Structure 1
């Protein structure tokens, strides 16, 4: 009698466990769940890629500044002719050939030459 009760309860427990496992796996395989999983993985991959790109950009910027300093020292651009005078500063590259009256400021900025895009209705039944 105890044997039968033991095996019956073992069978019930195994059935409940198997049913729970199957239902959980079926919920994971629904289209909504698969789409959410794919979206989460894509977001995580995007964050990893962004972190690596930012790190790479910072490394490039540091190496660029170091190399620019080396070239400035090699060409004598960083050394001043008179020890009492500071080294001559360079004007920004964008404003070198532009006279001060033509440099962009808040007052003399021009608006873009293109017009604002017009909105269109994309109703397929509208033309028929």
Structure 2
């Protein structure tokens, strides 16, 4: 009786495992068939296109905002100077500062220090 029980358990486990392996093999072959690869490529392309559209939209939004900042800076620059006072000077707000720490590649002469 004991042998019959283990024989039945082993046969059941074998059927279950072979069924699971068959399902995985079928999924794998469908995924890597020409149709499966094409379907994945299309869905990936659509997702990339959607991300690209969002990126372009963000770029346009930030571009408009920065352009408005620059226009405001130019309007400030074009304000008429006070009569009889010092000449008008340019007032532009910098958004970014570039710092160059690469001193070993440049010759440091008095000419370079003056910025000419």
The TM-score by the shorter chain falls in which range?
Answer: 0.5 to 0.7
Q: Which digits, 9 at most, give the CA deviation of each residue in 1:24-78, with x for residues without a partner?
A: 111111111111110110111111111011101110111101111111121128x
Provide the C-alpha distance between the structure 1 equivalents of 2:13 and 2:35, rounded to a whole number of angstroms.
35
Q: Is 1:25 paired with 2:31?
A: no
Q: Give the RMSD, CA atoms, in angstroms.
A: 1.2
In structure 1, the residue matched to 2:9 is 6
Provide the C-alpha distance between the structure 1 equivalents of 2:65 and 2:28, rounded to a whole number of angstroms.
50
Equivalent residue pairs, number: 77
Provide the C-alpha distance between the structure 2 equivalents of 1:22 and 1:32, rounded to a whole number of angstroms.
16
In structure 2, the residue matched to 1:82 is none
Q: Is 1:65 paired with 2:68?
A: yes
Provide the C-alpha distance between the structure 2 equivalents of 1:51 and 1:72, rounded to a whole number of angstroms.
32
Structure 2 unaligned regions, length at least 5: 81-116
The normalised TM-score by structure 1 is 0.57
Shift, 1:7, TM fit: 0.5
Structure 1 unaligned regions, length at least 5: 78-128
